[in-house]
Amino acid sequence: MSSERSGRDQATAQAAFTRGVKLLHDPVRNKGTAFTEAERDALGLRGLLPPRVQSQDLQVMRVMGNVRNKSSDLERYIALISLQDRNETLFYRVLVDHLDELMPIIYTPTVGKACQEFAHIFRRPRGLYICADDKGRMADVLRNWPHPDPRIIVVTDGERILGLGDLGADGMGIPIGKLSLYTACAGIHPTWCLPITLDVGTENETLLADPLYIGVQRRRLRGAPYDELIEEFVTAVQSVFRHTIVQFEDFANINAFRLLAKYRDRICTFDDDIQGTGAVALAGLLSALRISGGRIGERNVLFFGAGEAGIGIADMMVAEMVDQGLSETVARGRCWFMDSKGLVVESRTDLAPHKRPYAHAHGFTRDLLAAVQALRPVAIIGVSGVPASFTRPVIDAMAACNERPIIFALSNPTSKAECTAEQAYTWTEGRAVFASGSPFAPVEYRGRSHVPGQGNNAYIFPGVGLGVIACESQRVTDEMFSAAARALAQEVSAADLETGRIFPAFARIRDVSVRIATAVAEVAYRRGLARVPRPDDLPAYVRALMFEPRYENLT
Protein backbone atom coordinates (compact mmCIF):
# COMPACT_ATOMS: atom_id res chain seq x y z
CA MET A 1 0.00 0.00 0.00
CA SER A 2 2.90 2.35 0.69
CA SER A 3 3.50 2.60 -3.04
CA GLU A 4 -0.12 3.52 -3.65
CA ARG A 5 -1.87 6.77 -3.21
CA SER A 6 -3.58 7.18 0.15
CA GLY A 7 -7.20 8.34 0.32
CA ARG A 8 -5.90 11.82 1.16
CA ASP A 9 -3.69 11.92 -1.94
CA GLN A 10 -6.63 10.91 -4.10
CA ALA A 11 -8.71 13.67 -2.56
CA THR A 12 -6.03 16.28 -3.19
CA ALA A 13 -5.48 15.15 -6.78
CA GLN A 14 -9.22 15.31 -7.39
CA ALA A 15 -9.33 18.86 -6.03
CA ALA A 16 -7.23 19.97 -8.95
CA PHE A 17 -10.27 19.36 -11.16
CA THR A 18 -12.89 20.73 -8.82
CA ARG A 19 -13.40 24.48 -8.59
CA GLY A 20 -15.84 27.15 -7.55
CA VAL A 21 -19.25 26.31 -6.18
CA LYS A 22 -18.72 22.66 -7.03
CA LEU A 23 -15.76 22.60 -4.64
CA LEU A 24 -17.85 24.20 -1.88
CA HIS A 25 -20.43 21.46 -2.37
CA ASP A 26 -17.88 18.67 -2.31
CA PRO A 27 -17.79 17.41 1.30
CA VAL A 28 -14.44 15.64 0.88
CA ARG A 29 -12.57 18.78 -0.24
CA ASN A 30 -14.61 21.65 1.12
CA LYS A 31 -12.96 23.84 3.77
CA GLY A 32 -15.71 26.47 4.03
CA THR A 33 -14.45 29.73 5.52
CA ALA A 34 -10.99 28.19 5.97
CA PHE A 35 -10.07 28.41 2.27
CA THR A 36 -6.98 30.65 2.18
CA GLU A 37 -6.66 33.82 0.10
CA ALA A 38 -4.42 31.96 -2.36
CA GLU A 39 -6.89 29.07 -2.67
CA ARG A 40 -9.78 31.48 -3.21
CA ASP A 41 -7.88 33.02 -6.14
CA ALA A 42 -6.63 29.76 -7.60
CA LEU A 43 -9.84 27.79 -7.27
CA GLY A 44 -12.41 30.37 -8.40
CA LEU A 45 -13.80 30.90 -4.92
CA ARG A 46 -13.34 34.68 -4.67
CA GLY A 47 -16.69 36.20 -3.67
CA LEU A 48 -18.36 32.88 -3.03
CA LEU A 49 -17.33 32.95 0.63
CA PRO A 50 -17.56 35.61 3.35
CA PRO A 51 -14.28 37.56 3.17
CA ARG A 52 -12.71 36.64 6.50
CA VAL A 53 -10.52 33.55 6.39
CA GLN A 54 -11.01 31.50 9.54
CA SER A 55 -8.88 28.77 11.06
CA GLN A 56 -10.13 25.23 11.48
CA ASP A 57 -9.94 25.70 15.26
CA LEU A 58 -12.33 28.65 15.02
CA GLN A 59 -14.67 26.58 12.86
CA VAL A 60 -14.57 23.82 15.47
CA MET A 61 -15.50 26.35 18.13
CA ARG A 62 -18.49 27.53 16.10
CA VAL A 63 -19.70 23.99 15.42
CA MET A 64 -19.46 22.95 19.07
CA GLY A 65 -21.28 26.11 20.15
CA ASN A 66 -24.11 25.28 17.77
CA VAL A 67 -24.20 21.60 18.69
CA ARG A 68 -24.31 22.33 22.41
CA ASN A 69 -27.11 24.87 21.90
CA LYS A 70 -29.45 22.30 20.35
CA SER A 71 -32.39 21.25 22.44
CA SER A 72 -32.05 17.47 22.08
CA ASP A 73 -29.49 14.80 21.21
CA LEU A 74 -31.41 13.99 18.04
CA GLU A 75 -31.04 17.64 16.97
CA ARG A 76 -27.32 17.37 17.75
CA TYR A 77 -27.15 14.24 15.58
CA ILE A 78 -28.85 16.07 12.70
CA ALA A 79 -26.48 19.02 13.03
CA LEU A 80 -23.42 16.76 12.97
CA ILE A 81 -24.61 14.67 10.02
CA SER A 82 -25.36 17.87 8.12
CA LEU A 83 -21.80 18.99 8.80
CA GLN A 84 -20.52 15.62 7.57
CA ASP A 85 -22.47 16.22 4.37
CA ARG A 86 -20.89 19.68 3.92
CA ASN A 87 -17.33 19.34 5.19
CA GLU A 88 -15.97 15.95 6.21
CA THR A 89 -12.59 17.20 7.36
CA LEU A 90 -14.21 19.61 9.80
CA PHE A 91 -16.72 16.95 10.91
CA TYR A 92 -13.89 14.59 11.81
CA ARG A 93 -11.83 17.33 13.45
CA VAL A 94 -14.81 18.11 15.68
CA LEU A 95 -15.36 14.43 16.39
CA VAL A 96 -11.74 13.57 17.14
CA ASP A 97 -11.38 16.58 19.45
CA HIS A 98 -14.61 15.82 21.35
CA LEU A 99 -14.96 12.05 21.10
CA ASP A 100 -16.17 11.50 24.67
CA GLU A 101 -18.89 14.09 24.26
CA LEU A 102 -19.96 13.21 20.72
CA MET A 103 -19.70 9.41 20.60
CA PRO A 104 -23.10 9.03 22.29
CA ILE A 105 -24.54 11.34 19.61
CA ILE A 106 -23.13 9.80 16.45
CA TYR A 107 -23.37 6.29 17.83
CA THR A 108 -25.35 4.55 20.52
CA PRO A 109 -27.63 5.62 22.09
CA THR A 110 -28.62 8.59 19.84
CA VAL A 111 -28.02 6.75 16.56
CA GLY A 112 -30.77 4.34 17.65
CA LYS A 113 -33.23 7.19 17.94
CA ALA A 114 -31.96 8.57 14.63
CA CYS A 115 -32.68 5.23 12.92
CA GLN A 116 -36.15 5.13 14.42
CA GLU A 117 -36.75 8.61 12.96
CA PHE A 118 -34.55 8.13 9.89
CA ALA A 119 -37.19 8.65 7.21
CA HIS A 120 -38.54 11.70 8.97
CA ILE A 121 -35.21 13.45 9.48
CA PHE A 122 -33.83 12.39 6.07
CA ARG A 123 -31.92 15.17 4.30
CA ARG A 124 -29.19 13.85 1.99
CA PRO A 125 -28.39 10.32 0.92
CA ARG A 126 -25.07 8.79 2.03
CA GLY A 127 -23.75 5.38 1.06
CA LEU A 128 -25.41 2.89 -1.27
CA TYR A 129 -28.90 1.42 -1.11
CA ILE A 130 -29.23 -1.90 -2.89
CA CYS A 131 -32.60 -3.58 -3.04
CA ALA A 132 -34.01 -6.90 -4.13
CA ASP A 133 -34.98 -5.46 -7.52
CA ASP A 134 -31.28 -4.80 -8.18
CA LYS A 135 -30.72 -8.52 -8.56
CA GLY A 136 -28.67 -9.04 -11.72
CA ARG A 137 -27.21 -5.52 -11.74
CA MET A 138 -25.53 -5.22 -8.37
CA ALA A 139 -22.06 -4.74 -9.83
CA ASP A 140 -23.43 -1.74 -11.80
CA VAL A 141 -24.91 -0.28 -8.64
CA LEU A 142 -21.55 -0.64 -6.85
CA ARG A 143 -19.81 1.10 -9.76
CA ASN A 144 -21.96 4.19 -9.06
CA TRP A 145 -20.01 4.74 -5.84
CA PRO A 146 -17.87 7.84 -6.52
CA HIS A 147 -14.69 6.79 -4.69
CA PRO A 148 -12.63 4.23 -6.58
CA ASP A 149 -11.07 2.15 -3.87
CA PRO A 150 -13.12 1.58 -0.72
CA ARG A 151 -11.28 -0.51 1.85
CA ILE A 152 -14.14 -1.19 4.20
CA ILE A 153 -17.83 -1.76 3.63
CA VAL A 154 -20.26 -1.89 6.52
CA VAL A 155 -23.44 -3.54 5.29
CA THR A 156 -26.74 -4.12 7.06
CA ASP A 157 -30.10 -5.53 6.06
CA GLY A 158 -31.65 -3.57 8.92
CA GLU A 159 -33.30 -6.53 10.62
CA ARG A 160 -31.78 -6.17 14.11
CA ILE A 161 -30.78 -2.57 14.60
CA LEU A 162 -29.12 -2.31 18.05
CA GLY A 163 -31.71 -3.79 20.40
CA LEU A 164 -34.50 -2.02 18.47
CA GLY A 165 -35.43 -4.76 16.03
CA ASP A 166 -36.39 -4.50 12.36
CA LEU A 167 -35.98 -0.95 11.05
CA GLY A 168 -35.62 -1.93 7.39
CA ALA A 169 -33.81 0.64 5.24
CA ASP A 170 -34.01 3.14 8.11
CA GLY A 171 -31.21 1.12 9.69
CA MET A 172 -28.78 2.93 7.35
CA GLY A 173 -27.82 5.19 10.26
CA ILE A 174 -25.84 2.27 11.69
CA PRO A 175 -23.38 1.63 8.81
CA ILE A 176 -22.95 5.41 8.46
CA GLY A 177 -22.29 5.85 12.19
CA LYS A 178 -20.03 2.84 12.41
CA LEU A 179 -17.88 4.01 9.51
CA SER A 180 -17.62 7.47 11.07
CA LEU A 181 -16.09 5.69 14.05
CA TYR A 182 -13.60 3.85 11.80
CA THR A 183 -12.41 7.26 10.67
CA ALA A 184 -12.55 9.05 14.01
CA CYS A 185 -11.09 6.25 16.13
CA ALA A 186 -8.62 4.65 13.73
CA GLY A 187 -8.05 7.27 11.05
CA ILE A 188 -9.39 5.25 8.13
CA HIS A 189 -9.79 7.78 5.36
CA PRO A 190 -13.45 8.79 4.80
CA THR A 191 -13.23 7.93 1.09
CA TRP A 192 -12.17 4.39 2.00
CA CYS A 193 -15.43 3.86 3.88
CA LEU A 194 -18.61 2.66 2.18
CA PRO A 195 -21.92 2.24 4.05
CA ILE A 196 -24.43 -0.07 2.37
CA THR A 197 -28.01 -1.02 3.10
CA LEU A 198 -29.38 -4.14 1.51
CA ASP A 199 -33.07 -3.31 1.41
CA VAL A 200 -34.77 -6.69 1.40
CA GLY A 201 -38.05 -5.37 2.86
CA THR A 202 -39.25 -5.14 6.45
CA GLU A 203 -41.72 -6.78 8.81
CA ASN A 204 -42.11 -3.54 10.75
CA GLU A 205 -45.82 -2.68 10.40
CA THR A 206 -45.28 0.97 11.33
CA LEU A 207 -42.76 1.40 8.51
CA LEU A 208 -44.89 -0.53 6.05
CA ALA A 209 -47.71 1.92 6.74
CA ASP A 210 -45.60 5.09 6.85
CA PRO A 211 -45.78 7.12 3.61
CA LEU A 212 -42.43 8.75 4.45
CA TYR A 213 -40.57 5.43 4.87
CA ILE A 214 -37.50 5.48 2.61
CA GLY A 215 -37.30 1.74 1.91
CA VAL A 216 -39.21 -0.66 -0.26
CA GLN A 217 -42.64 -1.19 1.31
CA ARG A 218 -42.61 -4.93 1.05
CA ARG A 219 -42.28 -7.85 3.44
CA ARG A 220 -38.82 -9.30 3.95
CA LEU A 221 -37.27 -11.58 1.42
CA ARG A 222 -36.45 -14.95 2.99
CA GLY A 223 -34.97 -18.31 2.12
CA ALA A 224 -33.22 -19.05 -1.17
CA PRO A 225 -34.01 -15.69 -2.87
CA TYR A 226 -32.44 -13.89 0.11
CA ASP A 227 -29.34 -16.07 0.02
CA GLU A 228 -28.99 -15.56 -3.74
CA LEU A 229 -29.13 -11.81 -3.25
CA ILE A 230 -26.38 -11.90 -0.60
CA GLU A 231 -24.31 -14.17 -2.82
CA GLU A 232 -24.60 -11.76 -5.75
CA PHE A 233 -23.69 -8.88 -3.46
CA VAL A 234 -20.57 -10.60 -2.12
CA THR A 235 -19.47 -11.65 -5.61
CA ALA A 236 -20.08 -8.16 -7.01
CA VAL A 237 -18.01 -6.56 -4.26
CA GLN A 238 -15.16 -8.93 -5.08
CA SER A 239 -15.27 -8.08 -8.75
CA VAL A 240 -15.79 -4.30 -8.56
CA PHE A 241 -13.47 -3.39 -5.69
CA ARG A 242 -9.91 -4.46 -5.06
CA HIS A 243 -9.35 -5.40 -1.43
CA THR A 244 -12.35 -4.53 0.66
CA ILE A 245 -13.33 -5.76 4.10
CA VAL A 246 -17.04 -6.57 4.25
CA GLN A 247 -18.37 -6.06 7.75
CA PHE A 248 -21.83 -7.54 8.28
CA GLU A 249 -23.71 -5.39 10.75
CA ASP A 250 -27.00 -5.74 12.62
CA PHE A 251 -28.35 -8.73 10.71
CA ALA A 252 -30.83 -10.85 12.67
CA ASN A 253 -29.08 -13.76 14.30
CA ILE A 254 -30.83 -16.32 12.03
CA ASN A 255 -28.76 -14.85 9.20
CA ALA A 256 -25.71 -13.44 11.00
CA PHE A 257 -24.28 -16.79 12.12
CA ARG A 258 -25.00 -18.43 8.77
CA LEU A 259 -23.47 -15.66 6.70
CA LEU A 260 -20.35 -15.49 8.83
CA ALA A 261 -19.87 -19.25 8.58
CA LYS A 262 -20.49 -19.18 4.84
CA TYR A 263 -18.20 -16.32 3.90
CA ARG A 264 -15.44 -16.08 6.53
CA ASP A 265 -13.12 -18.43 4.65
CA ARG A 266 -14.04 -17.08 1.23
CA ILE A 267 -13.67 -13.32 1.60
CA CYS A 268 -12.19 -10.75 3.95
CA THR A 269 -15.16 -10.44 6.31
CA PHE A 270 -16.27 -10.36 9.90
CA ASP A 271 -19.38 -9.75 11.95
CA ASP A 272 -18.86 -7.08 14.54
CA ASP A 273 -21.95 -8.05 16.54
CA ILE A 274 -20.46 -11.50 17.03
CA GLN A 275 -16.68 -11.12 16.92
CA GLY A 276 -16.24 -7.45 17.86
CA THR A 277 -18.59 -7.77 20.81
CA GLY A 278 -16.78 -10.96 21.81
CA ALA A 279 -13.44 -9.20 21.84
CA VAL A 280 -14.54 -6.09 23.74
CA ALA A 281 -16.33 -8.14 26.39
CA LEU A 282 -13.37 -10.50 26.74
CA ALA A 283 -11.07 -7.51 27.26
CA GLY A 284 -13.53 -6.18 29.86
CA LEU A 285 -13.67 -9.51 31.65
CA LEU A 286 -9.87 -9.84 31.72
CA SER A 287 -9.63 -6.39 33.31
CA ALA A 288 -12.53 -7.06 35.69
CA LEU A 289 -10.78 -10.22 36.89
CA ARG A 290 -7.74 -8.12 37.74
CA ILE A 291 -10.05 -6.31 40.19
CA SER A 292 -12.02 -9.27 41.50
CA GLY A 293 -9.11 -11.72 41.55
CA GLY A 294 -9.01 -15.14 39.93
CA ARG A 295 -8.37 -16.29 36.41
CA ILE A 296 -10.64 -16.73 33.44
CA GLY A 297 -11.97 -20.29 33.41
CA GLU A 298 -11.85 -20.84 37.17
CA ARG A 299 -15.53 -20.11 37.66
CA ASN A 300 -18.78 -19.99 35.73
CA VAL A 301 -19.96 -17.05 33.67
CA LEU A 302 -23.70 -16.68 33.09
CA PHE A 303 -24.99 -15.01 29.96
CA PHE A 304 -28.50 -13.57 29.91
CA GLY A 305 -29.32 -13.69 26.19
CA ALA A 306 -28.00 -16.33 23.78
CA GLY A 307 -27.87 -14.43 20.50
CA GLU A 308 -25.08 -13.01 18.36
CA ALA A 309 -23.53 -10.98 21.15
CA GLY A 310 -23.71 -13.66 23.86
CA ILE A 311 -22.42 -16.51 21.72
CA GLY A 312 -19.74 -14.25 20.21
CA ILE A 313 -18.48 -13.33 23.68
CA ALA A 314 -18.54 -16.93 24.90
CA ASP A 315 -16.66 -18.19 21.82
CA MET A 316 -13.97 -15.60 22.42
CA MET A 317 -13.74 -16.51 26.10
CA VAL A 318 -13.47 -20.19 25.24
CA ALA A 319 -10.60 -19.42 22.84
CA GLU A 320 -8.84 -17.50 25.63
CA MET A 321 -9.36 -20.30 28.17
CA VAL A 322 -8.04 -22.87 25.70
CA ASP A 323 -5.05 -20.62 25.12
CA GLN A 324 -4.48 -20.65 28.87
CA GLY A 325 -4.46 -24.43 28.96
CA LEU A 326 -8.06 -25.57 29.52
CA SER A 327 -9.62 -28.17 27.25
CA GLU A 328 -12.36 -26.88 24.96
CA THR A 329 -14.96 -29.03 26.74
CA VAL A 330 -14.05 -27.65 30.16
CA ALA A 331 -13.91 -24.11 28.76
CA ARG A 332 -17.37 -24.37 27.20
CA GLY A 333 -18.63 -25.87 30.45
CA ARG A 334 -17.78 -22.58 32.22
CA CYS A 335 -20.15 -20.63 29.95
CA TRP A 336 -23.87 -20.83 30.76
CA PHE A 337 -26.72 -19.25 28.89
CA MET A 338 -30.30 -18.18 29.44
CA ASP A 339 -32.47 -17.34 26.46
CA SER A 340 -36.10 -16.22 26.25
CA LYS A 341 -37.27 -19.70 27.25
CA GLY A 342 -34.92 -20.23 30.19
CA LEU A 343 -31.63 -21.90 31.04
CA VAL A 344 -29.93 -23.48 28.02
CA VAL A 345 -29.56 -27.11 29.11
CA GLU A 346 -28.92 -30.42 27.40
CA SER A 347 -32.49 -31.70 27.81
CA ARG A 348 -34.00 -28.88 25.71
CA THR A 349 -35.14 -29.82 22.23
CA ASP A 350 -35.83 -26.30 20.97
CA LEU A 351 -32.28 -24.97 20.72
CA ALA A 352 -30.89 -23.23 17.64
CA PRO A 353 -27.57 -24.70 16.41
CA HIS A 354 -25.47 -21.83 17.76
CA LYS A 355 -26.66 -22.54 21.33
CA ARG A 356 -26.08 -26.30 21.36
CA PRO A 357 -22.34 -26.23 22.20
CA TYR A 358 -23.34 -24.40 25.39
CA ALA A 359 -26.21 -26.70 26.45
CA HIS A 360 -24.93 -28.45 29.59
CA ALA A 361 -26.31 -31.20 31.81
CA HIS A 362 -28.27 -29.36 34.49
CA GLY A 363 -31.81 -28.99 35.78
CA PHE A 364 -33.92 -26.54 33.75
CA THR A 365 -35.13 -23.25 35.17
CA ARG A 366 -36.90 -20.28 33.67
CA ASP A 367 -35.75 -18.02 36.44
CA LEU A 368 -32.56 -15.92 36.32
CA LEU A 369 -32.37 -15.64 40.10
CA ALA A 370 -32.55 -19.42 40.50
CA ALA A 371 -29.83 -19.82 37.85
CA VAL A 372 -27.53 -17.36 39.64
CA GLN A 373 -28.09 -19.16 42.94
CA ALA A 374 -27.39 -22.57 41.38
CA LEU A 375 -24.37 -21.63 39.22
CA ARG A 376 -22.78 -18.99 41.49
CA PRO A 377 -21.14 -17.23 38.53
CA VAL A 378 -18.23 -14.83 38.83
CA ALA A 379 -19.95 -12.64 36.20
CA ILE A 380 -23.38 -12.11 34.66
CA ILE A 381 -23.45 -10.70 31.17
CA GLY A 382 -26.67 -9.13 29.91
CA VAL A 383 -27.07 -9.36 26.15
CA SER A 384 -30.80 -9.94 25.93
CA GLY A 385 -32.22 -6.55 24.96
CA VAL A 386 -34.59 -6.98 27.93
CA PRO A 387 -34.46 -3.87 30.13
CA ALA A 388 -34.40 -4.07 33.93
CA SER A 389 -34.00 -7.85 33.90
CA PHE A 390 -31.13 -7.67 36.43
CA THR A 391 -33.47 -7.06 39.34
CA ARG A 392 -32.41 -6.28 42.88
CA PRO A 393 -32.73 -9.96 44.00
CA VAL A 394 -30.53 -11.04 41.07
CA ILE A 395 -27.85 -8.47 41.91
CA ASP A 396 -28.15 -9.35 45.63
CA ALA A 397 -27.54 -13.01 44.76
CA MET A 398 -24.43 -12.02 42.76
CA ALA A 399 -23.22 -9.92 45.70
CA ALA A 400 -23.83 -12.85 48.07
CA CYS A 401 -21.48 -15.19 46.18
CA ASN A 402 -18.82 -12.65 45.09
CA GLU A 403 -16.72 -10.10 46.95
CA ARG A 404 -16.54 -8.09 43.68
CA PRO A 405 -19.47 -9.25 41.48
CA ILE A 406 -18.89 -8.61 37.79
CA ILE A 407 -22.04 -7.25 36.19
CA PHE A 408 -22.15 -6.39 32.50
CA ALA A 409 -25.45 -4.93 31.25
CA LEU A 410 -24.52 -4.70 27.60
CA SER A 411 -27.88 -4.31 25.85
CA ASN A 412 -28.24 -1.19 23.73
CA PRO A 413 -29.49 1.46 23.64
CA THR A 414 -29.59 2.74 27.24
CA SER A 415 -33.31 2.04 27.51
CA LYS A 416 -32.60 -1.67 27.00
CA ALA A 417 -29.85 -2.06 29.62
CA GLU A 418 -30.44 -4.97 32.00
CA CYS A 419 -29.75 -2.61 34.91
CA THR A 420 -28.31 0.85 35.38
CA ALA A 421 -24.86 1.68 36.71
CA GLU A 422 -26.42 3.26 39.78
CA GLN A 423 -28.43 0.13 40.55
CA ALA A 424 -25.37 -2.11 40.16
CA TYR A 425 -23.24 0.03 42.49
CA THR A 426 -25.84 0.89 45.13
CA TRP A 427 -27.38 -2.60 45.37
CA THR A 428 -23.92 -4.13 45.90
CA GLU A 429 -22.80 -1.34 48.27
CA GLY A 430 -20.18 -0.22 45.80
CA ARG A 431 -18.66 -3.66 45.22
CA ALA A 432 -19.84 -4.28 41.65
CA VAL A 433 -17.46 -4.18 38.69
CA PHE A 434 -19.86 -2.82 36.11
CA ALA A 435 -19.88 -2.30 32.36
CA SER A 436 -22.70 -1.36 30.01
CA GLY A 437 -23.24 -1.18 26.26
CA SER A 438 -24.37 2.45 26.18
CA PRO A 439 -22.66 5.04 28.34
CA PHE A 440 -23.59 5.75 31.96
CA ALA A 441 -22.18 8.67 33.97
CA PRO A 442 -19.88 7.94 36.92
CA VAL A 443 -21.76 7.17 40.13
CA GLU A 444 -20.89 8.67 43.52
CA TYR A 445 -21.52 6.15 46.26
CA ARG A 446 -20.54 6.71 49.88
CA GLY A 447 -17.93 9.29 48.94
CA ARG A 448 -16.33 7.23 46.17
CA SER A 449 -16.62 7.76 42.45
CA HIS A 450 -17.24 4.61 40.41
CA VAL A 451 -16.56 4.86 36.69
CA PRO A 452 -18.70 2.42 34.68
CA GLY A 453 -16.97 0.70 31.79
CA GLN A 454 -18.57 1.08 28.38
CA GLY A 455 -18.22 -2.24 26.57
CA ASN A 456 -18.29 -0.36 23.34
CA ASN A 457 -17.25 -2.26 20.22
CA ALA A 458 -15.68 0.99 19.04
CA TYR A 459 -12.71 0.04 21.22
CA ILE A 460 -12.08 -2.92 18.92
CA PHE A 461 -13.41 -2.79 15.36
CA PRO A 462 -11.66 0.42 14.17
CA GLY A 463 -8.27 -0.98 15.21
CA VAL A 464 -9.04 -4.37 13.68
CA GLY A 465 -10.04 -2.68 10.42
CA LEU A 466 -6.90 -0.54 10.41
CA GLY A 467 -4.69 -3.59 11.02
CA VAL A 468 -6.32 -5.60 8.25
CA ILE A 469 -6.08 -2.68 5.82
CA ALA A 470 -2.46 -1.94 6.77
CA CYS A 471 -1.17 -5.41 5.87
CA GLU A 472 -3.88 -6.10 3.26
CA SER A 473 -4.80 -9.29 5.06
CA GLN A 474 -6.73 -11.76 2.96
CA ARG A 475 -8.95 -12.77 5.89
CA VAL A 476 -10.15 -11.57 9.27
CA THR A 477 -9.72 -14.35 11.81
CA ASP A 478 -10.86 -15.07 15.37
CA GLU A 479 -7.21 -15.11 16.37
CA MET A 480 -7.03 -11.45 15.32
CA PHE A 481 -9.94 -10.61 17.61
CA SER A 482 -8.26 -12.46 20.49
CA ALA A 483 -5.09 -10.46 19.84
CA ALA A 484 -7.18 -7.28 19.73
CA ALA A 485 -8.86 -8.13 23.06
CA ARG A 486 -5.52 -8.71 24.76
CA ALA A 487 -4.05 -5.52 23.30
CA LEU A 488 -7.06 -3.58 24.61
CA ALA A 489 -6.85 -5.15 28.08
CA GLN A 490 -3.17 -4.22 28.26
CA GLU A 491 -4.10 -0.57 27.84
CA VAL A 492 -5.93 -0.54 31.20
CA SER A 493 -3.66 0.85 33.93
CA ALA A 494 -3.64 0.16 37.66
CA ALA A 495 -4.98 3.70 38.16
CA ASP A 496 -7.91 2.90 35.83
CA LEU A 497 -8.72 -0.23 37.85
CA GLU A 498 -8.59 1.77 41.08
CA THR A 499 -11.76 3.66 40.02
CA GLY A 500 -13.42 0.52 38.66
CA ARG A 501 -12.59 1.48 35.08
CA ILE A 502 -12.07 -1.69 33.02
CA PHE A 503 -11.47 -0.03 29.66
CA PRO A 504 -8.97 2.76 28.88
CA ALA A 505 -10.28 6.33 28.66
CA PHE A 506 -11.95 6.75 25.29
CA ALA A 507 -10.01 9.93 24.65
CA ARG A 508 -6.96 7.66 24.04
CA ILE A 509 -8.72 5.63 21.35
CA ARG A 510 -6.47 6.57 18.42
CA ASP A 511 -3.40 5.33 20.29
CA VAL A 512 -5.29 2.24 21.42
CA SER A 513 -6.33 1.58 17.81
CA VAL A 514 -2.68 1.69 16.70
CA ARG A 515 -1.81 -0.96 19.32
CA ILE A 516 -4.74 -3.13 18.24
CA ALA A 517 -3.99 -2.69 14.55
CA THR A 518 -0.38 -3.66 15.14
CA ALA A 519 -1.42 -6.78 17.08
CA VAL A 520 -3.88 -7.73 14.33
CA ALA A 521 -1.35 -7.21 11.55
CA GLU A 522 1.20 -9.29 13.50
CA VAL A 523 -1.27 -12.19 13.42
CA ALA A 524 -1.72 -11.73 9.66
CA TYR A 525 2.06 -11.79 9.11
CA ARG A 526 2.48 -14.82 11.37
CA ARG A 527 -0.26 -16.72 9.52
CA GLY A 528 0.86 -15.78 6.04
CA LEU A 529 -2.31 -13.80 5.34
CA ALA A 530 -0.71 -10.42 4.61
CA ARG A 531 -0.38 -9.27 1.00
CA VAL A 532 2.24 -6.58 1.57
CA PRO A 533 5.75 -7.09 3.02
CA ARG A 534 6.15 -6.49 6.73
CA PRO A 535 7.58 -3.00 7.34
CA ASP A 536 10.49 -2.74 9.79
CA ASP A 537 8.55 -0.51 12.15
CA LEU A 538 4.99 -1.83 12.02
CA PRO A 539 3.43 0.55 14.59
CA ALA A 540 4.96 3.57 12.81
CA TYR A 541 3.72 2.27 9.45
CA VAL A 542 0.22 1.78 10.85
CA ARG A 543 0.21 5.24 12.40
CA ALA A 544 1.37 6.84 9.15
CA LEU A 545 -1.69 5.43 7.37
CA MET A 546 -4.07 7.27 9.66
CA PHE A 547 -6.11 10.14 8.31
CA GLU A 548 -5.56 13.29 10.35
CA PRO A 549 -8.49 15.65 9.82
CA ARG A 550 -6.49 18.78 9.06
CA TYR A 551 -6.93 20.84 5.92
CA GLU A 552 -4.30 20.39 3.23
CA ASN A 553 -3.12 23.14 0.96
CA LEU A 554 -5.11 22.84 -2.28
CA THR A 555 -3.16 25.35 -4.38
Q: Catalytic positions, please?
A: 107, 178
Integer Cα distance of 541 and 323 in angstroms:
29
DSSP-derived letter for residue 219 is P
Q: What values do phi and psi take at 141, rounded to 5?
A: -60, -45
Smallest distance, ligand NAI to C-beta of residue 460, A:
9
Indicate the residue among 190 and 310 with the shorter CB distance to ligand NAI: 310
Indicate the residue among 190 and 307 with the shorter CB distance to ligand NAI: 307
Q: Does 306 bind ligand NAI (CB under 6 A)?
A: yes
Greatest Cα pair distance in the chain: 79
Size of the site for ligand NAI (CB under 6 A): 29
Integer Cα distance of 109 and 72 in angstroms:
13
C-alpha triplet 213, 214, 218: angle, nearest 5°: 75
Q: Does 305 bind ligand NAI (CB under 6 A)?
A: yes
Q: Does 308 bind ligand NAI (CB under 6 A)?
A: yes
Smallest distance, ligand NAI to C-beta of residue 171, A:
13
What is residue 248's three-state secondary structure?
Answer: strand
Indicate the residue among 178 and 189 with the shorter CB distance to ligand NAI: 178
Indicate the residue among 339 and 491 with the shorter CB distance to ligand NAI: 339
Q: Does 273 bind ligand NAI (CB under 6 A)?
A: yes
The correct pick among 173, 187, 297, 307 for binding ligand NAI (CB under 6 A) is 307
Residue 75: burial class (beta carbons within 10 Å; 0-12, 13-18, 19+): middle
Residues 500-519 touching ligand NAI, rule: CB under 6 A, are: none
Integer Cα distance of 382 and 302 in angstroms:
9
Q: Where are the beta strands (DSSP E) in 420-535?
A: 433-436, 443-445, 448-450, 453-454
Q: Are strands 301-304 and 335-339 parallel, antiparallel or unpaired?
A: parallel
Q: Mask of contacts with ligand NAI, 28-47, x by CB under 6 A?
A: --------------------
Smallest distance, ligand NAI to C-beta of residue 257, A:
9
Integer Cα distance of 191 and 147 in angstroms:
6
The correct pick among 412, 477, 482, 518 for binding ligand NAI (CB under 6 A) is 412
**Span interacting with ligand NAI, options 57-65, 200-208, 450-458, 505-513, rule CB under 6 A:** 450-458
Indicate the residue among 10 and 300 with the shorter CB distance to ligand NAI: 300
Indicate the residue among 94 and 306 with the shorter CB distance to ligand NAI: 306
Indicate the residue among 163 and 549 with the shorter CB distance to ligand NAI: 163
Smallest distance, ligand NAI to C-beta of residue 233, A:
21
Smallest distance, ligand NAI to C-beta of residue 519, A:
19
Indicate the residue among 67 and 512 with the shorter CB distance to ligand NAI: 512
Q: Does 316 bind ligand NAI (CB under 6 A)?
A: no
- Whole-angstrom Cα Rg for the chain: 24
The correct pick among 160, 334, 404, 515 for binding ligand NAI (CB under 6 A) is 160
Q: Mask of contacts with ligand NAI, 451-470, x by CB under 6 A?
A: ----xxx-------------
The correct pick among 192, 213, 251, 304 for binding ligand NAI (CB under 6 A) is 304
Indicate the residue among 244 and 457 with the shorter CB distance to ligand NAI: 457
Q: Does 163 bind ligand NAI (CB under 6 A)?
A: yes
Give the containing element (helix H, strand E) for 538. helix 538-545
The correct pick among 45, 131, 162, 542 for binding ligand NAI (CB under 6 A) is 162
Integer Cα distance of 437 and 457 in angstroms:
9
**Span interacting with ligand NAI, options 136-144, 175-183, 305-313, 527-535, rule CB under 6 A:** 305-313
Residues forming a β-bridge with 337: 303
Smallest distance, ligand NAI to C-beta of residue 391, A:
12
CA dihedral 388, 350, 335, 495 (to 10 degrees): -30
C-alpha closest to that of 10 among 24, 30, 32, 29: 29
Integer Cα distance of 296 and 285 in angstroms:
8
**Span interacting with ligand NAI, options 26-34, 115-123, 157-165, 370-378, rule CB under 6 A:** 157-165
Integer Cα distance of 424 and 440 in angstroms:
11
Q: Give the helix ranges, DSSP H, for 252-324.
A: 253-263, 277-292, 308-323
DSSP secondary structure of 12-25: HHHHTT--HHHHHT
C-alpha distance from residue 165 to each of 161, 169, 170, 458 (Å): 5, 12, 11, 21
Integer Cα distance of 53 and 40 in angstroms:
10
309 with 410: CB under 8 angstroms? Answer: yes
What is residue 272's three-state secondary structure?
Answer: helix
Residues forming a β-bridge with 382: 304, 409
Residues in the chain: 555
Q: Mask of contacts with ligand NAI, 372-411, x by CB under 6 A?
A: -----------xxxx-----------------------xx
Residues 224-253 touching ligand NAI, rule: CB under 6 A, are: 253
Smallest distance, ligand NAI to C-beta of residue 304, A:
6
Residues 165-204 touching ligand NAI, rule: CB under 6 A, are: none
Where on the chain is the footprint of ligand NAI (CB under 6 A)?
Answer: 160, 162-163, 253, 273, 277, 280, 304-310, 338-340, 383-386, 410-412, 416, 437, 455-457
